[in-house]
A and B are shown apart, each in its own frame.
Chain A
Amino acid sequence: MDFFSFPKWTNFVPPALAIFLVISSSYAATLLYLGGSPRTTDVGYMPKQPVEYSHALHAGDLGIDCRYCHNTVEHAAQASIPPTQTCMNCHKTIRANSQKLIPIQESYATGNPVKWVRVHDLPDYVYFNHSAHVTRGVGCVSCHGRIDKMDVVYQAETLSMGWCLDCHRNPEPHLRPAGFITQLDWQPEGDPVALGKELRQKHNINPSTDCSTCHR
C-alpha cells in the first residue's frame, strides 16, 4: 500500500488557519459592532434640506430663541418644525428678494408645505415627549448639541436607547434651571452635579426607567 506523504509545510496549515479564523472573526465582529453602533451610523448625519436654512445665523448670530419657531416644545410631545408663516413673519420684508428664500415664499403663496428632512429620527416604536423633558430642566443642547453653530443641522448625539438610559439613570449632570433651557452655551457656576442634585430634589425629578415610558 502507498501512503501519500504530506509535505512538511502543511504542518503549519491547521494552526495558521485557526489563528487566522480567530483573528478575522473577531475583526469582523468588532468591525460590525463599531460600524453598526449608533455612534457610527447616526452621529454626524447631515442630510441636505430643501431650503438652505442656517441655524448658525438665526439662532446663533441673531440670537433668536429656539422656542420662537419651535413653539410647541413646552406643551406637546413634538417640538414642531415651524410653519412657513413663522418664517414669513420676518421674511415678508427682511431679505424678501433673497434667492434662498424662494421655496419659502412659494410655500407661503401656494399653501404647499416645505418638505424638510428629519435629522433626529427615533424609531417608530419610541414615543418621545419633548415637553416632559424641557419643563423639567433638560436643555436643548443636551440632545441636539450646539445647533447655534450649525449652518446645516447634523445629529450631534447618538440618541440610542443606551444613551437615553444613561441620563434617565443619572440625570444630575444634565439638569439646569428652567430659565436656561434654550441657552446653548450655558455653563453652571460650580459643580454641575451638585446643582443637578439640588434641582432634582427641588422639582421631584424621577425619570422613569419603565419600558412603557417610551415603548407603547
Chain B
Amino acid sequence: MPSINTPKHPTRLSPKTEAAGHGKRYWRSLDELADTPEFREFVEREFPNRAAGYLEGPDRRQFLRIMAASFGLAGLTACRWPKENIVPYALRPEGRIPGVPEQYATSMELGGIGHGLLVTSYDGRPIKVEGNPSHPSNQGAADVYAQASVLELYDPDRGKYPYIKEGNQSRTVSWPDLDSFLRHHFSTARLQGGKGFCVLSEATSSPSVRELRHRLLDAFPQARWFEYESISGDNERAGTQIAFGHALRVHPHLDQAKIILCLDADPLGAHPAKLKHVREFTRGRDPESGTMNRLYAVETHGSTTGSLADHRLALPPSMIEPFALALAAELIQQPEIQLPTSAQAIQEVLNNAPTDAPHPEWRAALIKDLISNRGQSLVFVGYQQPPFLHALAAWLNDLLGNTGRTVTYTRDELYQGVTHAEAIRALTEAMKSGQVETLLILGGNPVYDAPADLEFPALLANIPTSLHLSLYRDETSALCTWYIPRAHYLEAWGDTRAYDGTISTIQPLIEPLYGGRTPAELLARILAGEITQGYEITRQTLQNLIQPADFESSWRQWLHDGVIADTAFPPVTPSIQPSRIAAAWKPSPTEGPYEIVFIPDSKLYDGRFANNGWLQELPDFMTKMTWDNAALLSPATANALHVQDGDLLRLKLRGRQTEAAAFILPGQPPQTVTVALGYGRTQAGRVGTGVGFPVHALRVSGAMDFSGGLTIDKTGRVYQQACTQDHHAIDLVGLRERGERVHELIREATLENYQADPHVFHHEEHPPAQLFAEHPYEGHKWGMTIDLNACTGCSACVIACQAENNIPVVGKEQIRRGREMHWIRIDRYFSGEPEAPRVARQPVTCVHCENAPCEQVCPVNATVHTHEGLNVMVYNRCVGTRYCSNNCPFKVRRFNFFNYHKHLEDTEKMVFNPEVTVRSRGVMEKCTYCVQRIEKAKIQAKNNGRAIQDGEIVPACAQTCPAQAIVFGDLNNPASRVSKLLEHNRAYAMLGGLNLKPRTVYLARVWNPNPELVEKEDDHDSPTNHGSA
C-alpha cells in the first residue's frame, strides 16, 4: 500500500458516508473508512503501482532486442515434441496401482501435542494432508500447520547432511562418521556417569521418547533433561496445581456450554485442541435449533475467539486480572451462589479487589447469564494469563457447577514437575557455571526463542560439545558443534499423544529424503542399544505400554486407524482448595506508558514455519497481512502517536529494543502493542530469512507473554507492507457501489430478529426477469453452501486449496501489486466503531454462476460451462486477455503474470498434485470445485456401476474445514445435505440481484447478543438495520 499521509484516523464515519444516511456500513480498512485522497488514488487504479513499470530488470528496449535475437536463433527443430519415457517398477508391490493415490494415517506433533492426519500418497510420495476422521481431536479436519507441512517436507533448505563445526569452519560429515563420534563420545560420557551431559528437548508427548528418556537417565545418572517450548501451557498447569494440588490438563466442552466466557483465551484459534473446540462450538450455534450459545470474550489482542464473540471487550493485559477479580467479587454476591466456608480466604482477596474496574454493565449482564445457566456455562482462561487467574477460573467453574460438565480435568502425564521457564533458566545457570560439557538439543530453536535475558546464544557458543537435531540448519545449529538432520514426521516412525491423551501413531509416507533421524532414533544410538530404527522402537514401546493379546494384528489396526482406542487420559474429579488460590494472589502493578503482548503467529507459530512459502503468503486472519508481522496498534493509540500504517517504530522494553512497522488494527486494546512471534529470523532458509521483525529480543523471563513498561518512538522511516485487505476495490464508483452493497454481500442478524422474522435476510432481493430459457440441468447439478455462521477465519481452506491445486507462491512484491494467487480468499470486514468493531468474515471462491459474466467475454472460449453446472477453466486455450477477470464481479479469477513455477528445485516439484495441471505464464485460473475430485468420483462410480453417494465428493476446502462450514453436493438430489441447506431461510446468493445464479450459496450469520447489552449499542449499527431504501 502506498504510504498514507493522513494526519489522523478519525474514529467516526467520514462525513460523506454519514450524510448518505446509511445503515450498517462495512469497511475493510481504516483508510477506506477515512476515505483519504491517497486511498482514492490507490483504488482508482485497478492494478496499483502500474506506473512503476511492468517489467523489472531489463527495460523494454533491451527486452525487444533480446527477443529479436532469440527469434533469429530459433530454427525449425523436430516437428514432434521431445520423447517421453515410461519408467515402471522393476518389482511392483502387491496391490499397488501406479497413478492411484493411497491414504495412510499418521500424526503430526506440534508443541508436544499430536494431531491425527490422513496423508494422500501418490506414487510413493505424500502430496496432501487431510484430517483423520477417527482422531478425537481432528475428527477429519486439519489446520493450516498440518496442511502446509507437506511443503516443509520437500523444502530444499532442509539440512541434507550432518555438519561439524571446527573453529569457524563447518564441513559435512558422513553418517558413519557421525555414528562413530556418537559411539565414542557417549561411551566416554557413560563411564563418567553422564556428568556434564544435558539434553534440551522441545515439548513432546511421544511415549517412545519418554521411554528412552528414562533409559538415558538410568544409564547416565548425572545427566539432566530439560524441556523447553517458547509457547507453553505452563501457566495452566501451575494454575491447576494451585487450585487442586496437582498439575492437571483443562478440557473445555464447548458443546455443553450455553454461556462461554473467555478471559484472554482463544480456544477456537490458538489452542492445541482448537479443531475439536471449533466443531463443538459450531454445533451449539445452530440458529435453526432454536437456541444458540453465547460467547463473551475479554482479550488483550484480536483473536479468532474474540472475532466470533457475541460480546467482546479489548483490555490491556494489566486490566484482565482486575476485571476478573471484579467479576468474581460481583458474582459471589449473587443470592444464588452458596459459598462454602472454605472460600473465606478468597472472599477476603476479592474484597480487596479494585471496585472501579471498567465496564460494570457488561459484567452485570454476563453475571446474570452465568447465574441463569449454572452447570451449562464455562469460564476459560488463556495460556498467557498468570497461574492465579487459571486457579480463580477453576474456582468459579466449581461455584457455578460447571466442573465435570462443561469442563473436565485429566492428569497431565507429561508434566515432570518443572515448567518450561524454570527448565531453560536452570539450564542456562548450569551452562554459566561451566557444568555443561555436552549439550544435546532435540528440535526447537532455543538461540532464537529462549528468553532474551538468559543470553542463551553466548552461553551455547562456549559449550565444548553441542549437538542440534533439527530440520533446518538454523540459528541454533550455527552455534552448535554438530548439526544432525532431523527426519520430518512424514518420513518417520513414531508415536505421540493427542490433547486428550489418545496415543496416535506416526508412520512414514516416504523414505527419509536426507537420511534424517528422529529424536527417538538419536537417543537410541546414544544409548548404544541394539534397536536403533524408529520402526522397532515404536513397536517395542507400544507393545510394552498397551500389552495387547495379539500384538501383530493390534499393531496393524493401530497403524490403519492412526489412533489407539481407549488410551485417552482418564478424567479426574479433583477437589478444589480455595485457600491455596487465595494464598497465590499477589498484586501486580501496572507499568506504563504502553504494554506489549506477544502472540504466536497464526501462520508461523513460534517461527518454525518461517521458511514455508505457503504460510508466509497466507493473509493473516485478522490483519490480512502477508510476509510480515507488525506492531498492532489501536486507532486511538495511533492517533495519539501520529503513527500510520507502515511507520517504523522503535519499541523499548527494560533496556532492550527492537524495531517494528506499525499497523493499525481496529479493536486493539488501547495503550497496547501486539506483536506476533516467529519473524525476523536470520537463518531460516531462502524464504524466511529476513522476513518481518524480530520481537523476541523483548521477551524476557517472567514476561514472556505480555509486559508493561514499553516505550514507543518513531524512527521516521517508513516500511512497505503487503496487505490483501484493500485489493480488488475496482475504482471509486465501484468502491461506492460496493460500500452500499456490502450488507447484501454479508448478511447478519441477531437471533431475536431472525426468530421474529425468518425472512430477514431476503428483504432486499429484487431478482430480475429472465429473458431467455434456462438450461435444464438433468444429471448432476453441483452446488455448494458456505455457512458464515460457522466460519472462524482460520484459513485452513486456503492452504488446503493451495496444496490440492498446485497454486504458486508469488512473493511480497507481487502481493503488493494485488497478484496473490489464492483461489479462495477470506474477506474480512469491520463494522461499527473502530475501537470496538464487529468482525464479519466471508470465504469467497468462484461461485460458478450459471449466467457467468466471465464466460460471455472470453474471446477464445477458454472458460465454458459444463452440463453439470461447473464453470470450467481450460488452461490450454487461454491466451491471457484477462477480460474474464475484468468481468467477474466477485474478483475471484487469478492470472499467472509470470511463470511462478520456473525456478523450482527437484524436491519442490514433488509436492505437486499430478491430477491438476501446473499452470505456466499467461494463463487464468480459478476455483474449479475441485473438478479432479468430481471426475474421479464419477469415473469410479461408473466403473462400479453405482450412483454417486452424497458426501462422496468433498472439495479440498470442505474437507479440511474444522467448522464444516463448506458443504458440497448434488442439487438434483433432494436428500443431499446441500439441497437441504439451500432450503434454509438463512441461504442467500451473493449478488443475486445481478441474475448470476451462483451455485455457491451463503448461509447468513446469526449473532446471539445479550438483549441487555444490545440496547447500549447505537441503533445505527444494529446488525439488522440494512439502511433505509
Contacts and interface: CB of A to CB of B under 8 A. Distances in A.
A118 B866 contact: no
Contacts of A76: 97-100
Contacts of A42: 80
Contacts of B100: 72, 75-77
A81 interface: yes
Interface string B912-928: 00011100000000001
B902 interface: no
Contact of B943 (A83, A113, A114, A131): A131
A127 B91 contact: no
A157 interface: no
Given A78-B98, A80-B97, A124-B917, A117 B85 contact: yes
A123 B939 CA distance: 21
Interface string A103-147: 000011011111111100101110101011001100000000000
Nearest to A78: B99
Interface in B894-937: 915-917, 928, 931-932, 935
A132 B939 contact: yes
A135 B874 CA distance: 27
B866 A210 contact: yes
A77 B123 CA distance: 13
Interface in B833-887: 864, 866-868, 870, 872, 874-876
A135 to B, nearest CB: 5
Nearest to A208: B867
Interface in A32-65: 35-36, 41-42, 45, 47
B756 interface: no
B84 A118 contact: yes
A61 to B, nearest CB: 24
A216 interface: yes
Chain B interface category by residue count:
35 or more
A213 B934 CA distance: 10
Interface in B87-108: 87-92, 97-100
B55 interface: no
A171 to B, nearest CB: 14
B90 A113 contact: yes
A36 B80 CA distance: 9
B935 A212 contact: yes
A212 B866 contact: yes
B83 interface: yes
A74 B943 CA distance: 8
A111 B93 CA distance: 12
B85 A132 contact: no
A55 to B, nearest CB: 15
A75 B916 contact: no
B86 interface: yes
Contacts of B939: 129, 131-132
Interface of chain B: mostly helix, strand, loop or mixed: loop
A118 B83 contact: yes
A215 interface: yes
B79 interface: yes
A170 interface: no
Contacts of A47: 83
Contact of B88 (A80, A111, A127): A80
B736 interface: no
B942 interface: yes
Contact of A108 (B81, B90, B931): B90
A150 B89 CA distance: 24
B829 to A, nearest CB: 33
B90 A112 contact: yes
Contacts of B917: 124-125, 215-216
Given A83-B90, A124-B917, A212-B928, A36 B79 contact: yes
A90 interface: no
A187 to B, nearest CB: 27
A72 B98 contact: yes
Contacts of B876: 123, 125, 215
A112 B870 CA distance: 44
Nearest to B99: A78
A72 to B, nearest CB: 5
A212 B867 contact: no
A188 interface: no
Interface in B803-827: none
A216 B221 CA distance: 61
B864 A211 contact: yes
Contacts of B91: 83-85, 108, 111
A177 interface: no
A110 to B, nearest CB: 8
Nearest to A84: B90
21 contacts: A41-B80, A47-B83, A77-B99, A82-B88, A84-B90, A85-B90, A108-B90, A110-B90, A111-B90, A113-B89, A114-B87, A115-B85, A118-B85, A123-B876, A127-B915, A210-B868, A211-B872, A212-B866, A212-B931, A216-B916, A216-B917
Interface of B: 79-81, 83-92, 97-100, 864, 866-868, 870, 872, 874-876, 915-917, 928, 931-932, 935, 939, 942-943
For the complex of A and B, list the 3 residue pairs with the smallest distance between their C-beta atoms, beginning with the closest. A210-B866, A83-B89, A83-B92
